[in-house]
Chains A and B, each alone.
Chain A
């Protein structure tokens, strides 16, 4: 049972993390190659607080605020640089984050912070918290997609200049997306810190940023259900394909490549196409 709980907790944290990136990249069209930095800010914030015996439930909102504040900063950067320039800037953010953390003694430097106490919720309670937070953000995402906010995001992701010509204050919307998405990543980070009871500079680097982007893209960029499914599967895939052992990463990367090569619109795209085919046949 303990194994299943760990697995499910890992999955729900990944789902929340992937949805948080989906908000920025999938909804608002702003690519980020450094999203793990925001999870890292949340995780470190929560880790320090929990080490000082602050409750997880207090640490979570604080982690969200800290991550969101950095997100606001990067959001401002996104107003200056676009497309591929933005992608590499966000990549720079994650290297800068890791580089700074490594050299800070109060953040544990290279070794990180370990021995974080278990929260008062207990394992099952904590799992339920993770699931509810992920579900909450998923619900919020679905709501946004149906609202005029989602409508405006579609236009910004499509073409910023056109959005301006129809009177949309693109800057405000981008900042909004960055703050919400990064704050949610901060929450995921706080949960991560509690789940593994350890945070270190290597847990929130470039590779992690790419993995979460892969979840979003494999799920189908912008599709809430697709991203949730992809995040749940991909987060535990390395555990599930233990049997290939030495070839684990090779299999993972080959799958990712084939997905991009043969179904670039992700799982959501595959599902949509087959649905249309079924509809087409029946009508």
Chain B
């Protein structure tokens, strides 16, 4: 059974303007309904497979993002939603902004846009899901190697 059949997601709002957050929530609403793909918005890193971050990383939320990521069980993927999460966006040069999510975490999927469109977000999530299966495989192979 593939992990991708049941991707549970954790939505974290970095220093977003809330534009992308509203679009993320729109994905779970009747018009887009990501639950069609088994996606559940868990709100708990220990249950999540996908960490979906909107907004850039600033000095204050850096340790929080790192901690949440560390609490997620393997395999896991990170999706940066919106241009701010991708590289800092319009806030890039602010004194408190460190940059995009990739300044602290290994980002797997970038979903650009300001705000990112629901279609784009869903597309990103689906790609992330495909990646989960690959990671799952590599985790297994790592284990096998370690076993030998």
Q: Do A and B form a real pair?
A: no
